[in-house]
Amino acid sequence: MGQKVIISIATVILLITGVLLGYVLSQLVLGYLIPNFLTFLGTISLIVIFGTLYYVLFWEFRKQQSVSLQGGTSVRAEESVADIRLQNRLIAILDGDTGAVERLIKQAKHETPGMPENWYWERVIADVESDRW
* Contact partners, residue 124, CB within 8 Å, separation at least 6: 90, 101, 104, 105, 108
Whole-prediction pTM: 0.41
For the stretch 102-131, pLDDT in tens is 999 999 999 988 888 888 899 999 999 888
State the DSSP code for 97: -
pLDDT at 73: 47
Region for residue 72 given its phi and psi (left: phi exceeds 0; alpha: psi -120 to 50; beta: otherwise): left
Name the H helices within the chain. 2-30, 37-70, 73-93, 98-111, 117-132
Q: Which residue has the higher pLDDT, 57 or 88?
A: 88
Task: List the domain boundaries for the chain.
Answer: 2-71, 74-132
Of 6, 15, 5, 2, which Cα lies nearest the Cα of 57? 6
